[in-house]
A and B are shown apart, each in its own frame.
Chain A
Amino acid sequence: MTENTQSTEIAGDERFPEEELETLTQHRSLWGDVWRQFRKHKGAMAGVIVFIFITLAVSLGPLIQGIEPSAINFSERNFGPTLAHPLGTDNIGHDTLAQMLAGGQVSLAVGFSAMLIALLLGTLIGVLAGFIKSLDGPLMRLTDLFLALPILPLLLVIILLFRDTLRTLYGPEAGIFMLIVFVIGITSWMHTARIVRSDVLGIKEREFVIAAHSIGTRKRRIIFRHILPNILSPIMVSATLGIANAIITESALSFLGLGFPPDFPTWGRLLYDGANFIQITPARVIWPGLFIALTVLSVNYIGDGLRDALDPRLRGR
């Protein structure tokens, strides 16, 4: 499986810069160059702006708006947009905007934390497999095994079966949050691991690593000092893809009714709850869906731009 599926991943092929020295002689820093190239990618810049806007709105919005997302007001049910409730209200008088903002905090937090877990795990396994020959075979078989698991059914099963235990251990919100972040993280590290491994395999045979070996540098130091900085760009690209993937997975789980509990809004949960009232208040479906879509789209565009900017063969064109 390994050889072929790797070669079919042309679209996700990121080789890391090698000709940085040239740019350095012209007194231009590497990251300055990357940024210059990144700015040329219109989609990526739009993505950055949208993503920053969403993050700011979600983190500062509740302070400005000042409505409790869980406040119930039965006299103001199923409202359309009004001055007090810009996005309307739901069937028990929750303010949709307040719920959207609170939900966005959770969705983005899930996206970031799950991505971090997947990234750490993927990088660790990829570096170990690439650097230590005796671990390569077993770790790659493990990666293949994880790739063959039916992820979505397993996620659903794990969440359903373990959510009550964690709820009693860590409270209803923190427990579910930890569970969802953990299971998404632990089931999405495989692509990062494969990319990192193949890059490490290439870099560890290069002269500067051999030179470091020959002067007696310890293995750990070689990894942190020489190898990790050189595989930073595929890791960054898979970080952006990881956020997008985690946000989609979380909202899919919530959409299936197996994510966060009803009184704990996330975008996917709001969409799921809104689906039953689609004929009365379609806005309850549109807004959360739109924000999931916008976030994922902007993150994907950022990833696309990063991929181009970090590729020295494209840079400077």
Chain B
Amino acid sequence: MIHYIFRRTLIAIPTLLVISFIIFAILDLAPNDPTGNLPMTVPPEVRAKIRSSLGLDEPMHIRFGLWLVQFCVNEPLNLLHEGFGISIGDAENRTRILSWATRSPVVDLIIQRTPQTLWVVGLSYLFGILIAIPIGIVSAYRQYSWFDQVGTFISMVGFSVPTFFTGMVAIIIFSVQLRWFPMIYDTTLVVDSWQNFVSQVKQMIMPVAVLALYNASQLSRFMRASILDNLNLDYVRTARAKGRSERAVLLIHVLRNSLIPVVTLIALGIPTIFSGAIITEQIFRVNGLGQLLIIAIEGADIPLVQTLTFIFAVLIVFFNLIADVVYGILDPRIRYD
């Protein structure tokens, strides 16, 4: 197993290098000028100076190499220095990836925005899982019952209807008509009293509910299929023949076996928490990572876009690895060596 994890990590590194290069090349090939937004009165010499101060007159492979060093070496070392007070090397004069728009380190911006995303989108993923598993179990156990029919229909609707529509409908009903919840997510709210806690919960209900519904509809269908695959197997008949109660057969024998693929699917879906946040955060005006990316793209803030997109890619590769490893741990029939 450890051998396998080691080998997979070794494969992941070149994959990530290629991906980071693809992202870098796309951003670099594009006709784009960071001084394009400056007033017309700025003379060309000054523009050239600005460009060289951003490091743009270096050849592409040098800029890519420098970015890679900054992302993979300097930024982690800096996090160590600021987070735990461990300094390795020259901690004060280390070059960091700077945003063109705000001139502050990109990683600091990302750290500022992460909690909002994790709270809203992460919670919705969690709720989605909690809703999906019982629904999947019941619909599979009572296949073709009215519960199953309704559940299948709702989950079909749930994953066909895009979140930017359900979110908008929720805003029209609950914010505009009923005035129960606020339309815009207020991130400056500090939870220090009961009243603030209530308003925090209020502003989180809509985004979390909309996304949770979407996640649950996909997972519950998968859960149902997985249980159905297991229900007719021999070990279930054996368990029944031993005289175990239906409850024990379903919840102990079948559930544990059917959860194996579902758990890997859940792990594979975790990166979508971050990229899916792009749309949800735009609907409810949450200023999380997704909104940071949109702002960076609109402002042509290349270092920020490059770093954020690469972080998304790292998450995808990492959770793919986790999913495979978890699959191997949960299912003793899978042998990698």
Contacts and interface: CB of A to CB of B under 8 A. Distances in A.
A59 B153 CA distance: 29
Q: Which of A1, A150, A162, A293 has the most CB of B within 10 A?
A: A150
A156 B161 contact: no
A248 interface: yes
B279 A4 contact: no
Given A154-B309, A296-B160, A4 B225 contact: no
Contact of A251 (B164, B229, B317, B321): B164
A235 interface: no
A173 interface: no
* Residue from A4, A145, A278, A289 with most neighbouring chain B CB atoms (10 Å): A4
Contacts of A150: 271, 275, 309, 312-313, 316
A195 to B, nearest CB: 16
Given A8-B264, A252-B279, A296-B160, A1 B320 contact: yes
B303 to A, nearest CB: 13
A244 interface: yes
B168 A285 contact: yes
Contacts of B268: 5, 8
Nearest to A272: B164
B172 interface: yes
A150 B261 CA distance: 23
A188 B283 CA distance: 25
B265 interface: yes
B156 interface: yes
A278 B172 contact: yes
Interface string B254-286: 000000010011001001000110110011000
Interface string A143-155: 0110111111110
A297 B19 contact: no
B86 interface: no
A29 to B, nearest CB: 30
A252 B164 contact: yes
Contacts of A282: 172, 176
Interface string A1-20: 10011011011000000000
Interface in A281-298: 282, 285-286, 289-290, 292-293, 296-297
Given A7-B261, A157-B309, A244 B160 contact: yes
Interface in B280-322: 282-283, 293-294, 297-298, 300, 305, 308-309, 312-313, 316-317, 320-321
B222 interface: yes
Nearest to A144: B15
A275 B221 CA distance: 31
A164 interface: yes
B144 to A, nearest CB: 12
B143 to A, nearest CB: 14
A148 B161 contact: no
Interface string A29-52: 000000000000001000000000
A141 B146 CA distance: 44
A10 B229 contact: yes
Given A157-B309, A289-B165, A4 B264 contact: yes
Contacts of A1: 320-321, 324
Contact of A296 (B22, B153, B162, B265): B162
Of A157, A162, A296, chain B has the most CB atoms within 10 Å of the CB of: A157
Given A10-B261, A149-B19, A289-B169, A156 B279 contact: no
A251 B309 contact: no
Most buried by A among B18, B160, B298, B321: B160
A215 B168 CA distance: 62
B31 interface: yes
A11 B221 contact: yes
Contacts of A10: 222, 225-226, 229, 261
A10 B160 CA distance: 19
Query: Lowest 3 CB-CB distances: which A-B pairs, in order?
Result: A161-B30, A289-B165, A150-B312
Interface of A: 1, 4-5, 7-8, 10-11, 43, 144-145, 147-154, 156-158, 160-162, 164-165, 244, 248, 251-252, 255-258, 271, 275, 278-279, 282, 285-286, 289-290, 292-293, 296-297, 300-301, 304
5 contacts: A11-B222, A157-B26, A285-B168, A290-B165, A293-B162
Interface of B: 15, 18-19, 22-23, 26-27, 30-32, 153, 156-157, 159-162, 164-165, 168-169, 171-172, 176, 221-222, 225-226, 229, 261, 264-265, 268, 271, 275-276, 278-279, 282-283, 293-294, 297-298, 300, 305, 308-309, 312-313, 316-317, 320-321, 323-324, 327, 334
Given A5-B323, A161-B26, A252-B279, 10 more contacts: A10-B222, A10-B226, A43-B156, A145-B15, A148-B19, A150-B313, A153-B308, A164-B31, A289-B161, A289-B169
